[in-house]
Amino acid sequence: MQKLVEIYDTTLRDGSQAEDISFSVDDKLRITEKLDELGIHYIEGGWPGSNPKDAEYFKKVRKLSLKNAKVVAFGSTHRPKTNVENDSNIKALISSEVPVFTVFGKTWDFHVTEALKITLEENLELIFNTINYLKKYAEKVFFDAEHFFDGFKDNPEYAIKCLKTAQQAYADCIILCDTNGGTLTNEVERIIKEVKKSINTPLGIHAHNDSDCAVANSIIAVLNGITQVQGTINGFGERCGNANLCSIIPNLQLKLGYKCIDEDNLKKLTEVSRFVYEIANLMPFKRQPFVGESAFAHKGGVHVSAVRKRPETYEHIRPELVGNRQRILVSDLSGKSNILKKAEEFGIVLNPDSPEVQAIVDAVKTLENEGYQFEGAEASLELLFRNTLGLKRKFFDLIGFRVIDEKRKGDEATLSEATIMVKVGKSIEHTAATGNGPVNALDNALRKALERFYPELKRVKLRDYKVRVVNSGKGTASKVRVLVESGDEESVWSTVGVSENIIEASWQAIVDSIEYKLYKEKTKKGEV
Amino acid sequence: MQKLVEIYDTTLRDGSQAEDISFSVDDKLRITEKLDELGIHYIEGGWPGSNPKDAEYFKKVRKLSLKNAKVVAFGSTHRPKTNVENDSNIKALISSEVPVFTVFGKTWDFHVTEALKITLEENLELIFNTINYLKKYAEKVFFDAEHFFDGFKDNPEYAIKCLKTAQQAYADCIILCDTNGGTLTNEVERIIKEVKKSINTPLGIHAHNDSDCAVANSIIAVLNGITQVQGTINGFGERCGNANLCSIIPNLQLKLGYKCIDEDNLKKLTEVSRFVYEIANLMPFKRQPFVGESAFAHKGGVHVSAVRKRPETYEHIRPELVGNRQRILVSDLSGKSNILKKAEEFGIVLNPDSPEVQAIVDAVKTLENEGYQFEGAEASLELLFRNTLGLKRKFFDLIGFRVIDEKRKGDEATLSEATIMVKVGKSIEHTAATGNGPVNALDNALRKALERFYPELKRVKLRDYKVRVVNSGKGTASKVRVLVESGDEESVWSTVGVSENIIEASWQAIVDSIEYKLYKEKTKKGEV
């Protein structure tokens, strides 16, 4: 019998407290659906009493047909000098019409007297009345014991009294919150053991990562009998974030044998992580355990040759179990074995002892020193391999381009226009295009010029465009690295360009993208 | 009596195995000096046998005069069919001429037979011979027991035998390595307790973060008697990284009373973290515990009003202890209390009940919806406050600008030139400038045009320029957000611009930067 652990996601509430994160109602609904697909048990959608956006979310979320998850509304114990039934926050909770409410209350005496400015006894009444009243309107009421660990360290008797009060009001789960995130793993274990002596209501853990121990704290809690884990996707959350469910779920399930979500769903974890980054409009954290792009990436020469033979030599789990993949990185640190592995992927046959392999190692090293980075631009890397091996094919010559950005008066928009002249075989094409900004204009003009000769380019779309300053500190004269992601119906490829001039860097990446596409097309037709 | 814990930094060796990181020799020397200033005990500089860059580092590092740290050279046990004294890696170690060597060896039987392809007995000989031989050439020899935890779980007897062999060869410290980073905190505790039964050589811990538990694992190790902690600044390292010293040191020192570095040096921790990010040319991870920009940032309205009164309500330590600072964020999630706190910082007197406060909340919300972000652009925010309050001052009018980027032939550089016409009072200035890219050209032209009227602008320098695509997925037509950091001798300020056109977005940020400077100058002179 596998032991079950309930997963409670608060990405939409606590997660949205993170710096740089601001979800629209529509974003929240899309994330709700995604979390439901993943098999999360509880999705805390928001705090309906706190802002109109969350209220709107609860109206709309009812229309979704969820398969696994129950949507939860979050709120606080009722206000001191108000009756519970007249409290506007409590009314907002009820009108959210969800099956589960989570109510947070104070358990740290200092917060009761300093922040709420009421007596310790009055706070117990707030806890009891709120839970007791809300039980009539919901399937389940959970109690978030705010600042529980700090409270326990300060005044264990009172902290436990708060939990007992929640238990007397028939809370369905009492969640021990490390609100300030400062508690260390050994303390979490010790305190939970104490709590279990006087509380038999099911317990949950809600950890924050201020000590960099939120995942370990959540796991030690489960090992000590806690049955609900609260956290967020990617560890989003106020300050240093909440406990990261993308780490907790696979740790519990793959290493400790607990059951959280379906094994098949676990394979969606990486996709869900990246989806949430995308919606939050944040760069994924590459080194993120389990789901990060670098989580199973190998660079050191020793490691690369070992994992090529036996992945378990340097991988703690098989990346496929969480939907991630092994990556072999090419860099100046790495030896020839990385280059050989890459060549294999590209379908290029290389003799390990040939001088060509060293030539590629050197070429990569030189360009990386100039600020290029091929880890995210495999199409440019493949072109580099082929060029170094003398397999380059030229599809067009640039005769010249000019890009003009113009603004007339302070309150008018800036207009961008590009002209371009290219030569294909003996034909010359001279054309122009506008665009949203100089790079877009140039991209449009180049495509327009080449489509006459290579109609397959009509199907290619630029999917993403990223700019990164490579050597910060020089103001607008810094070197920039441009990464371009292109795609058609069949595939997606990425290219890179580097220059002090953003137009030049973008040009390189766009040209690589087009040459890569044309090269692949010729290969397909057997013309190369 | 405070218990001492030795801190061993491997940012320069294991840290440089991380994706996207490639340190030059000069970078490594600068980091060495910085770590020495911080008071780190051991700095692992590299693996002299593995690449010429590391060999060069060891030549040059001798010329530094370090105050606290000992530099360590890293290497493996000698090769199976070679005598220790003839092994080129061992020779490279010796010729590095540092006081301490760290040698790693296999302790997982599977690696011995599968990777090294030798007998278990032969591996013990490699360990003994290597340590025993190197002891003659160094003050101290440390033994990194590679894959120790996995090895112990598989074959505890053999794993312990390896440690005993290192002990017999008089290793000065035996470091238990969780090389694959998959071990959980409870296992680390259990296994260390076992090890201590048969080993009395001082022990170290070297954890990786693949389970997201590296910090907790290092701390539980110390609580169980381990006296050396290996890790890296910011947790840089292969795959998910190494144990993060920026979290471990303050946890041990501020919460558990161990002594790692001087209390005064602890205040440099945030600076060192950012210095290493800068050298590595990576964006700092904002949510990083203790030292991250968001680590003490408060957004939620409830939290903001509480920390304004008593910081300990939502902060686990005082940020100043690690050289970080509290930040109050402005965002659409936050209430009026954030706006009031910000106004206070800006020296603007606001009545909490005035309609102006709501007007500012609304203005911020609207702009944030369009992709603006003021969390990193406080100067733009201050201008927004003043504009909304009707305090705006106009310093110039733009009549128009034109930026031209031109490339003639495929192999020539792209040239950028800007022309601009501005009006100040009744004077018109019409000028032009070139630059590295269109934004730099435009920035140069605007400064040139205005310096005649406002000579104080001559002292202003653009310090950093960042571009971020706001709504990814639309290719080169995406909206971009530009952040500009400017400074003079006295201060540094940041501004923001957003547009589909990067030139327009940059223009906004540059204009804000100039207006902010001129505004401050007028205020200083008492003219506003």
* CB atoms closer than 10 angstroms to residue A125: 16
Minimum Cα–Cα distance from B305: chain A residue: A115
- Please give the span between the terminal C-alpha atoms of chain B, in angstroms, as a whole number: 58
Amino acid at B54: D
Task: Give yes or no for residue B155 having a pLDDT over 70.
Answer: yes
- Nearest residue, CB atoms, A289 vs list B115, B209, B256: B209
User: Which residues of chain B make contact with A20, given a CB cutoff of 8 A?
Assistant: 286, 373, 375
pLDDT value of residue B473: 42
Measured CA to CA, the distance from residue B524 to residue B28 in angstroms comes to 43
User: Which residues of chain B make contact with A326, given a CB cutoff of 8 A?
Assistant: none
Q: Do A298 and B223 touch (CB under 8 A)?
A: no
CB contact at 8 A, B349 and B337? no
Residue from A210, A291, A412 whose CB has the most chain B CBs within 10 Å, to mutate: A210
- Nearest residue, CB atoms, B401 vs list A18, A407, A499: A407
User: Which residues of chain B make contact with A484, given a CB cutoff of 8 A?
Assistant: 475-476
User: Which residues of chain B make contact with A298, given a CB cutoff of 8 A?
Assistant: 238-239
Alpha carbon distances (Å) from B118 to B111, B132, B144, B459:
9, 20, 19, 67
Q: Do B299 and A238 touch (CB under 8 A)?
A: yes
- Nearest residue, CB atoms, A300 vs list B17, B180, B315: B17
User: Which residues of chain B make contact with A471, given a CB cutoff of 8 A?
Assistant: 281
CB contact at 8 A, B219 and B256? yes
Amino acid at B17: Q
CB contact at 8 A, B398 and B422? yes
Minimum Cα–Cα distance from B406: chain A residue: A402
Q: Do B185 and A416 touch (CB under 8 A)?
A: no
Average pLDDT of the segment spanning B151-175: 98
Residues of chain A with pLDDT under 50: 472-474
- Nearest residue, CB atoms, A436 vs list B179, B182, B501: B501
Q: What is the pLDDT of residues A415-438, one digit of tens each?
A: 999 999 999 999 999 999 998 889
Minimum Cα–Cα distance from A365: chain B residue: B22
- Nearest residue, CB atoms, A239 vs list B281, B295, B443: B295
Nearest residue to B202 (alpha-carbon basis) of B2, B10, B8, B1: B8
Amino acid at A457: L
Measured CA to CA, the distance from residue A380 to residue A203 in angstroms comes to 53
Average pLDDT of the segment spanning B326-353: 79
Amino acid at A152: F
Q: Do B333 and A17 touch (CB under 8 A)?
A: yes
pLDDT value of residue A477: 55
- Please give the span between the terminal C-alpha atoms of chain A, in angstroms, as a whole number: 59
pLDDT value of residue B481: 83
User: Which residues of chain B make contact with A17, given a CB cutoff of 8 A?
Assistant: 299-300, 303, 333
Amino acid at A58: F
* CB atoms closer than 10 angstroms to residue B470: 18
Average pLDDT of the segment spanning B498-526: 90
What tokens appear for A220 in the block?
């030690």
The shortest C-alpha distance from B273 to chain A (Å) reads 15
What tokens appear for A239 in the block?
């300050």
Measured CA to CA, the distance from residue B226 to residue B193 in angstroms comes to 10
pTM: 0.78
Q: For residue A63, count CB atoms less than 10 angstroms from its CB and return exposed for 0-12, middle for 13-18, buried for 19 or more.
A: exposed
Alpha carbon distances (Å) from A1 to A12, A115, A258:
33, 46, 9
Residue from B436, B470, B482 whose CB has the most chain A CBs within 10 Å, to mutate: B436
The shortest C-alpha distance from A200 to chain B (Å) reads 24
User: Which residues of chain B make contact with A482, given a CB cutoff of 8 A?
Assistant: none
CB contact at 8 A, A44 and A102? yes
DSSP classification of residue B63 = T
pLDDT value of residue B301: 66
- Nearest residue, CB atoms, A212 vs list B211, B289, B410: B289
Q: Do B18 and A373 touch (CB under 8 A)?
A: no
CB contact at 8 A, B508 and B373? no
User: Which residues of chain B make contact with A377, given a CB cutoff of 8 A?
Assistant: none
Listed in sequence order, the residues at least 6 apart from A273 whose beta carbon sits closer than 8 Å to its beta carbon are A233, A234, A246, A284, A288, A291
What tokens appear for B113 in the block?
């037979």
Amino acid at B432: A
Measured CA to CA, the distance from residue B44 to residue B261 in angstroms comes to 17
* CB atoms closer than 10 angstroms to residue A135: 16
Q: Do A398 and B416 touch (CB under 8 A)?
A: no
Q: What is the pLDDT of residues B40-91, one digit of tens each?
A: 999 999 999 777 788 889 999 999 999 999 999 999 999 999 999 999 999 9
Measured CA to CA, the distance from residue B120 to residue B138 in angstroms comes to 27
Strands B327-328 and B297-298: parallel
Listed in sequence order, the residues at least 6 apart from B108 whose beta carbon sits closer than 8 Å to its beta carbon are B146, B147, B148, B150, B151, B154, B155, B159
Q: Do B502 and A502 touch (CB under 8 A)?
A: yes
Residue from B407, B421, B483, B486 whose CB has the most chain A CBs within 10 Å, to mutate: B407
Average pLDDT of the segment spanning B483-499: 85
**For A228-237, A448-457, B229-238, B384-393, which range has the lowest pLDDT when averaged over its residues?**
B384-393
Alpha carbon distances (Å) from B481 to A404, A469, A485, B233, B280:
21, 13, 19, 30, 24
- Bridge partners (DSSP) of residue A288 are none
Q: What is the Rg, in whole angstroms, of the alpha carbon atoms belonging to chain A?
A: 28
Measured CA to CA, the distance from residue A480 to residue A350 in angstroms comes to 33
Measured CA to CA, the distance from residue B208 to residue B237 in angstroms comes to 8
- Nearest residue, CB atoms, B437 vs list A111, A298, A476: A476
Count Cα atoms within 13 angstroms, Cβ side, for B485: 13
CB contact at 8 A, B18 and B279? no
Measured CA to CA, the distance from residue A468 to residue A306 in angstroms comes to 33
Q: How many CB pairs under 8 A join A and B?
A: 384
Minimum Cα–Cα distance from B308: chain A residue: A115
* CB atoms closer than 10 angstroms to residue A199: 17
Measured CA to CA, the distance from residue A293 to residue A284 in angstroms comes to 8
What tokens appear for A343 in the block?
């060549």
CB contact at 8 A, B174 and B143? yes
Stretch (H or E) spanning B34:
helix B25-38
The shortest C-alpha distance from A182 to chain B (Å) reads 5
Q: Do A240 and B18 touch (CB under 8 A)?
A: no
Task: Give yes or no for residue B1 having a pLDDT over 70.
Answer: no
pLDDT value of residue B262: 95
Alpha carbon distances (Å) from A394 to A525, B35, B54:
17, 50, 40
What tokens appear for B261 in the block?
């570095």
CB contact at 8 A, B483 and B494? yes
Sign of the C-alpha dihedral, residues B108, B110, B113, B119? positive
What tokens appear for B439 in the block?
């934004």
Measured CA to CA, the distance from residue B448 to residue B417 in angstroms comes to 13
pLDDT value of residue A473: 42
Q: Do B212 and A244 touch (CB under 8 A)?
A: yes
User: Which residues of chain B make contact with A369, given a CB cutoff of 8 A?
Assistant: 22
SS3 (DSSP) at B450: helix
Q: Do B20 and A375 touch (CB under 8 A)?
A: yes
**For A334-348, A460-474, B297-311, B334-348, which range has the lowest pLDDT when averaged over its residues?**
A460-474
Measured CA to CA, the distance from residue A185 to residue B15 in angstroms comes to 25
Strands A427-435 and B173-178: unpaired
Alpha carbon distances (Å) from A466 to A279, A309, A404, A494, B168:
17, 35, 21, 11, 55
Give the mean pLDDT of chain B: 90
Q: What is the pLDDT of residues B111-147, one digit of tens each?
A: 999 888 999 999 999 999 999 999 999 999 999 999 9
The shortest C-alpha distance from B189 to chain A (Å) reads 10
A502-524 vs B438-451: helix crossing angle, rounded to 10: 170
User: Which residues of chain A make contact with B457, given a CB cutoff of 8 A?
Assistant: none
Q: What is the pLDDT of residues B429-482, one digit of tens each?
A: 999 999 888 988 999 999 999 999 999 998 888 777 777 776 544 455 567 888
SS3 (DSSP) at A434: strand
User: Which residues of chain A make contact with B104, given a CB cutoff of 8 A?
Assistant: none
Minimum Cα–Cα distance from A412: chain B residue: B400
